[in-house]
Amino acid sequence: MALTYVAIATTTVGSGGAANIEFTSIPGTYTDLVIKASLRDTRNGPANDFSMEINGAATNRTYKALKGDGSTVTTFSGSTATIGVEDGDTATASTFANVEIYIPNYAGSNNKSISADSAQENNQSAAEVWMVASLWSQTAAITSLKLVPGNGFSYKQYSTATLYGIKNTV
């Protein structure tokens, strides 16, 4: 029997860090894509936003987000590729954000909806959990996904990301 939930590719950032984490040449043979990641970047701050570029671009994107930081709940929106929150350089040592991004019908001919949940708990006064509804207003199949820290910073060693494919074949 064919497997329904398959790891397509996985990345662990090495000692030199990485400007981004990218999955390329994604086959169109699955129905949905899921990224599960553990992320920390080099940017100042305990909690930093990051983006996910699709097919090499950060354009044609909109999102709405809901954020909790331990004391308040806020909501905001934008026209960027922002997708979630990750640990930054001043977060408690050895803490990495948990991230899950779900993209249904990524190879279909409709615009692509994206659901993203991320959280960075680090036992400080500021910790954040984000829920994001994102849209890529393009009908092309998704063939590459790139996680990108904000403001030109990079991913720290031991950050990981795995891309899974899900088939809805009965």
Partner 1 sequence: MTATYDCIATTTLSSAAASVTFSSISGSYTDLVVVIQATWTTSSNDMYIYMQLNSDTGSNYSTTILSGNGSSALSTRFSDRTNMNMDYSATIVYNQPTQRNINIMNYSNTTTYKTAIWRSNRAGSGTDAMVGLWRSTAAITTILFDLESGDFASGSTFSLYGIKAE
Q: Which residues contribute to the site for partner 1 (CB under 8 A)?
A: 1, 3-5, 31-32, 62-67, 73-77, 102, 104-105, 110-115, 117, 131-135, 166-170
Q: What angle do CA 127, 104, 41 make, to 5 degrees?
A: 30
Nearer CB in complex with partner 1: 6/19: 6
Helix (H) or strand (E) holding 47: strand 47-54
How far is the C-alpha of 128 from the C-alpha of 58, rounded, in Å?
A: 24
Which two three-digit tokens encode residue 136? 């890529």
Measured from the CB of residue 45, what is the shortest distance to partner 1 in angstroms? 22
Nearer CB in complex with partner 1: 137/151: 137
Nearer CB in complex with partner 1: 130/153: 130
Measured from the CB of residue 22, what is the shortest distance to partner 1 in angstroms? 23
Amino acid at 141: A
How far is the C-alpha of 114 from the C-alpha of 1, rounded, in Å?
A: 29
Nearer CB in complex with partner 1: 15/74: 74
